[in-house]
């Protein structure tokens, strides 16, 4: 948690009205309402201005709904929108959004200062403009330095003044005749200070849109609200609804009260047309002052939250708070930025920049809510839930509007944001807040797996071994330690299942954990599970039943089990094979010892410098030797042999036995075609033995390991005889029916 946020309830001191509704409403009903609504109507006409207002409030409304929804799921932390984005996409993405958000929140102070200056000059035209700006900034800073509480106390007085000014407009609207017929759409002449050079709808929209950015006022104070979830929801939505009605009413009144040329050329038309002009001027001064005050209070808190997560330089200095728990150092930086921006001197010039930066922030908020809604984790339980279409439309509106306003600025902003994101990612920041990036990837993997399973023949294309390894004793543990690094490739899942039988005391737990850590170091993706079995020999079958889940992208599809060395182990192994086949899981029966590098003891010295050899035995397909669309009972055996060749850097030999001499050449052609269709490396050596299988074992080629496929009916006595005849360890492999070596 950020420094200064865990000081107890002392920092949570504002309610819905004073902490969210009033500052949000006053920020929205600011300089744009008093000085640019008439200019908006004069440029766009009645329908055009109403359309611009509705579009701006639609984007803001969708964002406000998203904001309200996500704020009811978690207790919003200090930092406002930055904290919300960081919780969804990580601190790095939050920082990439939070830095421009902080800058725009600082620049919007200047926007309101310029509006205040224009209102002041209407009363005292002889006063120097720069002196007015400096005096107002000084007064704002003085109030904020006194305390945030003092700043909030002034807003109720300001709200009263704004209400009186709105009353003056309402009196004029109901008492003065509406004598003008406004055009449906205006001619967009532009601004008077530029000599009316002409403009377009998106420039006018960009000037107007900062009016709707007030929804951030309450969110910026999220770390200091008594009940942030309830306050942000109620206060923000109420302020947006009230202000939308006021803007539409004022625009319609102005459209009928004056000509479009008068409105476009006179920023103070709303003052001149009201019933009591001094009240409207007072409302302009009060609203712009209040908006500037709210933004100056909120901006340092965004910077302080960024610094608390080490996103900014000089983080330790910026996180410091004074004795009244105010972010004093962050405020100093904000004052410097505001002072420098005052030199821009032009409200119309700064408004589009603020618009684009806020659109970036709004888009990020909508994308965060969209991600939370689509992933729909159990932890996402907002008390105010919106349909996923709401944040989607909000994000599309923000991104689309940015491009039509200024495509180049948008591209530059995207590149700059990407650069900041990459810079923050390289800094390996701590994760003080949990995010859903990992959960999004898991959900995507689960969705992709379910979709793939519903696609015809898709399992053959996406198959890769996910090994399940039951561990009953030290022998199983040693077998897993020897064979898993050879059978599984980097990044593949391996599930170790500790068997807790009646006669087992559970002492293997530490050894299983140690094996998991070793496999992680080898680059695998291991996990551990414990299951209980009435008898140890039945443990692998119980483990198979307990861990099977076809919707799990990491569900086991290959069981690694020990070969039955003694006849009393045949029955449990036969049960295991039957259950595995019913669950579409392949089985690999592994010998107790490791594979041998040398082919024979006599060849041990020569084999030290030679590559290991994997001998894959394939069943004869005579008399026709037809290569079909898969290998009968041998697909998994071939796929695992191929993996052993890769992981062991070995050579592959394909072996089969024939009874007749005339079958030797067709068998060689068959094995060669299998190697080509299965894309085996090498090409592999081909070895056809002209003997029945029982005699062919005595003529087997030298190998470090033999891989043999099992059919449906298994004779374990015969398998033990095969092992005795071959001069190297054997893997016996049974297909699940899903694998296809030719896919």
Here the CATH number for the domain that contains residue 652 is: 3.40.50.620
One domain for residues 386 and 477: no
Q: Which residues pair with 717 in a beta bridge?
A: none
pLDDT band of 460, cuts 50, 70, 90: low
264 lies in some domain: yes
| Phi, psi torsion values for 612, nearest 5 degrees | -60, 155
Of 35, 62, 44, 26, nearest to 252 (Cα)? 44
- Give the pLDDT mean for 408-420: 81
Instruction: Tell whether 543 and 644 lie within a shared domain.
Output: no
Residue 526 and residue 620 in one domain: no
Q: What is the residue whose two structure tokens read 């330790």?
A: 316
Beta bridge partners of 532: 500
Buried b (16+ CB within 10 A) or exposed e, 675-701: beebebeeebebbbbbeeeeebbeebe
Beta bridge partners of 470: 497
Average pLDDT over residues 635-639: 90
Give the residue, 451 or 503, on which the prediction is more confident: 451
In terms of Cβ atoms closer than 10 Å to its own Cβ (0-12, 13-18, 19+), residue 723 is middle
Q: What is the mean pLDDT of residues 88-95?
A: 73
Task: Write down the pLDDT at residue 435.
Answer: 60
Name the β-bridge partners of 615. Answer: 653, 706
pLDDT in tens, 236-265: 889 999 999 999 999 999 999 999 999 999
CB atoms within 10 A of CB 450: 12
Look up residue 465 and give its DSSP letter: -
Per-residue pLDDT band at 733 (split at 50, 70, 90): very high
Summarize pLDDT for 102-145 with one digit per residue, the tens.
Answer: 888 888 888 888 888 888 988 888 999 889 999 999 988 888 87
Instruction: Say if residue 179 is in the same domain as residue 287.
Output: yes
Q: Which residue has the higher pLDDT, 80 or 18?
A: 18
- Of 429 and 181, more confident: 181
Distance CA 296, CA 634 (A): 73
Is the Cα dihedral 192, 197, 201, 207 positive or negative?
Answer: negative
Task: Name the residue among 309, 21, 53, 276 with its Cα closest to residue 159.
Answer: 21
DSSP 740: -
Q: Which of 157-161, 172-176, 470-474 is predicted least confidently?
A: 470-474
In the predicted model, is pLDDT for residue 1 greater than 80?
no
Host H or E run for residue 733: strand 730-734
pLDDT digit string, tens, across residues 574-614: 888 888 888 888 899 988 765 554 444 444 445 445 678 99
| Cα–Cα distance for residue pair 38/186, rounded to 1 Å | 12
> Is the pLDDT at 446 greater than 70, yes or no?
no
| 531 and 621, same domain (yes or no) | no
Same-domain check for residues 696 and 562: no
Local confidence band at 12 (pLDDT 50, 70, 90 cut-offs): low
CA dist 30 and 33 (Å) reads 6
Whether residues 393 and 320 share a domain: the answer is yes
CA atoms of 553 and 60, how far apart (whole Å): 39
* Torsion region of 499: left, alpha or beta (phi above 0 gives left; psi -120 to 50 gives alpha): beta
Do the beta carbons of residue 334 and residue 299 sit within 8 Å? yes
Residue 448 lies in a domain: no
User: Does residue 292 lie in a domain region?
Assistant: yes
Cβ(112)–Cβ(37) below 8 Å: no
Report how far residue 297's alpha carbon sits from residue 33's, in angstroms, rounded to the nearest whole number.
22
Domain of 643? 604-734
Those residues whose C-beta lies under 8 Å from the C-beta of residue 465, and which sit 6 or more positions away, are 487, 488, 492, 557, 558, 586, 639, 640, 643
Give domain status of residue 1, yes or no: no
Tell me the average pLDDT across 330-356. 79
pLDDT of residue 258: 92
| End residue of a domain, out of 385, 410, 426 | 426
The C-alpha atoms of residue 646 and residue 486 are separated, in whole angstroms, by 9
- Crossing angle of helices 201-208 and 347-375, in 10° steps, is 80
pTM of the model: 0.59
Of the candidates 381, 404, 426, which is a domain's last residue? Answer: 426
- Higher local confidence (pLDDT), 598 or 625: 625
Q: Mean pLDDT in the chain?
A: 80
Find out whether 298 and 108 touch, Cβ atoms under 8 Å: no
CA distances from 376 to 198, 372, 373 (A): 48, 6, 5
Q: What pLDDT score was predicted for residue 164?
A: 94
In a domain, 623, yes or no: yes
CATH of the domain at 78: 1.20.1740.10
Residue 534 has pLDDT above 60, yes or no: no
Query: CB atoms < 10 A from the CB of 715, how many?
Result: 12
Q: Give the model's pLDDT for residue 554.
A: 59
Quick one: 349 and 468 in the same domain? no
* pLDDT tens readout for residues 652-703: 999 999 988 888 999 999 999 999 888 888 789 999 999 988 888 989 999 9
State how beta strands 467-471 and 493-501 pair: parallel
Q: Which of 585, 619, 646 is the last residue of a domain?
A: 585
- Dihedral sign of CA atoms 455, 461, 462, 463 in order: positive
- How many angstroms separate the CA atoms of 108 and 100, rounded? 12
Residue 38 lies in a domain: yes
Q: Per the structure block, which two tokens stand in for 656?
A: 């089969």
The token pair that represents 108 in the structure block:
């919007």
Neighbouring-strand partners of residue 731: 707
Q: How far is CA 14 from the centre of its chain?
A: 32
* Model pLDDT, residue 192: 87
- Cα–Cα nearest to 572, from 638, 501, 493: 501
Would 341 be classed as within a structural domain? Answer: yes
Q: Which stretch, 10-19, 186-195, 358-367, 452-461, has highest mean pLDDT?
A: 186-195
Q: Is residue 686 part of a domain?
A: yes
Burial of 457 (0-12, 13-18, 19+ CB in 10 A): exposed
Cα–Cα distances (Å) from 354 to 97, 109, 111, 409, 410, in that order, read 14, 10, 9, 12, 12
CA neighbor of 385 nearest in space, from 101, 7, 604, 65: 65
CB neighbour list of residue 88: distance below 8 Å, 6 or more residues apart: 367, 368, 369, 371, 372, 435, 436
Residue 598 has a pLDDT of: 40
**Which helix (H) or strand (E) is 587 found in, with range?**
strand 586-590
**Stronger pLDDT, 160 or 155, i.e. the higher one:** 160
Q: How far apart are CA 481 and CA 491, in angstroms?
A: 17
* Token duo for residue 143: 């109030």
Q: How many domains does the chain have?
A: 3
- The answer on 575 and 651 residing in a single domain is no
If asked whether residues 197 and 342 sit together in one domain, one would say: yes
- DSSP E strand boundaries for 42-114: none
Q: How confident is the model at residue 345 (pLDDT cuts 50, 70, 90)?
A: low
Together in a domain, 514 and 631: no
* DSSP secondary structure, 423-437, as one string: HHHHTT---SS--SH
CA 621 to chain centroid, in Å, comes to 52
Same domain, 619 and 552: no
Q: Does 118 or 539 have the greater pLDDT score?
A: 118
């Amino acid at each position: 948690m950020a420094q200064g946020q865990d000081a107890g309830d002392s920092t949570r001191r504002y309610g819905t009205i004073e902490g969210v509704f009033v500052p949000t409403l006053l920020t929205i009903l600011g300089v744009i309402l008093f000085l640019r609504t008439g200019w908006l109507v004069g440029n766009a006409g009645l329908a055009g201005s109403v359309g611009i207002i509705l579009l701006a409030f639609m984007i803001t409304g969708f964002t406000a709904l998203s904001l309200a929804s996500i704020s009811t799921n978690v207790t919003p932390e200090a930092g406002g929108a930055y904290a919300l984005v960081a919780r969804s996409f990580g601190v790095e993405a939050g920082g990439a959004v939070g830095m421009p958000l902080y800058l725009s929140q600082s620049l919007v102070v200047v926007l309101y200062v310029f509006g205040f200056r224009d209102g002041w000059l209407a009363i005292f035209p002889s006063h120097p403009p720069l002196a007015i700006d400096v005096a107002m900034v000084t007064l704002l800073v003085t109030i904020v330095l006194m305390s945030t509480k003092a700043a909030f106390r002034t807003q109720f007085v300001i709200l009263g003044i704004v209400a009186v000014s709105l009353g003056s407009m309402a009196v004029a609207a109901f008492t003065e005749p509406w004598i003008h017929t406004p055009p449906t759409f205006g001619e967009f002449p532009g601004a008077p200070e530029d000599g009316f050079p002409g403009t377009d709808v998106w420039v006018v929209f960009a000037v107007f849109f900062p009016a709707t950015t007030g929804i951030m006022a309450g969110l910026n104070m999220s770390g200091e609200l008594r009940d942030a979830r309830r306050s942000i929801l109620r206060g923000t939505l109420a302020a947006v609804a009230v202000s939308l009605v006021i803007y539409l009413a004022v625009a319609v009144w102005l459209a009928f009260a004056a000509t479009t040329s008068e409105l476009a050329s006179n920023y103070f038309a709303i003052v001149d047309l009201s019933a009591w002009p001094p009240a409207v001027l007072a409302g302009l001064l009060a609203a712009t002052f209040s908006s500037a005050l709210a933004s100056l209070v909120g901006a340092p808190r965004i910077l302080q939250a960024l610094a608390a997560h080490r996103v900014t330089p000089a983080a330790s200095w910026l996180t410091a708070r004074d004795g009244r728990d105010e972010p004093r150092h962050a405020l100093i930086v904000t004052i410097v930025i505001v002072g420098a921006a005052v030199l821009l001197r032009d409200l119309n010039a700064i408004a589009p920049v603020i618009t684009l930066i806020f659109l970036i922030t709004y888009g990020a908020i909508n994308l965060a809510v969209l991600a939370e809604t689509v992933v729909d984790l159990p932890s996402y339980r907002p008390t105010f839930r919106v349909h996923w279409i709401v944040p989607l439309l909000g994000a599309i509106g923000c991104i689309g509007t940015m491009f039509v306003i200024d495509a180049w600025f948008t591209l530059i902003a995207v590149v700059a944001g990407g650069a900041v994101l990459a810079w923050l990612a390289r800094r390996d920041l701590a994760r003080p807040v949990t995010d859903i990036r990992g959960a999004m990837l898991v959900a995507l993997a689960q969705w992709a797996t379910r979709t793939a399973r519903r696609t015809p023949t898709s399992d053959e294309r996406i198959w890769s071994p996910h090994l399940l390894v039951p561990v009953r004793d030290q022998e199983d543990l040693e077998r897993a330690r020897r064979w898993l690094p050879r059978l599984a490739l980097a990044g593949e899942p391996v599930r170790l299942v500790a068997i807790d039988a009646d006669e087992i005391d559970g002492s293997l737990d530490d050894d299983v954990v140690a094996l998991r850590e070793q496999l992680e170091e080898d680059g695998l993706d291991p996990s551990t599970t414990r299951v209980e079995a009435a008898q140890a020999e039945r443990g692998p079958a119980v483990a198979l039943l307990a861990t099977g889940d076809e919707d799990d992208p990491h569900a086991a599809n290959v069981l690694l089990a020990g070969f039955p060395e003694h006849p009393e182990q045949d029955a449990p192994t036969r049960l295991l094979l039957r259950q595995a086949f019913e669950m579409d899981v392949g089985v690999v029966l592994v010998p107790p010892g490791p594979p041998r590098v040398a082919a024979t003891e006599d060849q041990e010295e020569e084999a030290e410098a030679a590559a290991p050899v994997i001998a894959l035995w394939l069943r004869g397909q005579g008399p026709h030797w037809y290569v079909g669309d898969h290998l009968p009972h041998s697909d998994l055996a071939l796929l695992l042999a191929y993996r052993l060749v890769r992981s062991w850097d070995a050579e592959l030999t394909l072996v089969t036995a024939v009874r007749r001499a005339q079958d030797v050449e067709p068998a060689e052609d068959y094995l060669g075609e299998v190697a080509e269709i299965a894309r085996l490396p090498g090409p592999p050596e081909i070895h056809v033995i002209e003997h029945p299988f029982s005699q062919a074992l005595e003529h087997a080629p030298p190998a470090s390991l033999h891989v043999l496929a099992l059919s449906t009916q298994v004779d374990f006595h015969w398998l033990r005889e095969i092992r005795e005849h071959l001069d190297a360890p054997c893997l016996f492999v049974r297909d699940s029916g899903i694998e296809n070596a030719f896919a």
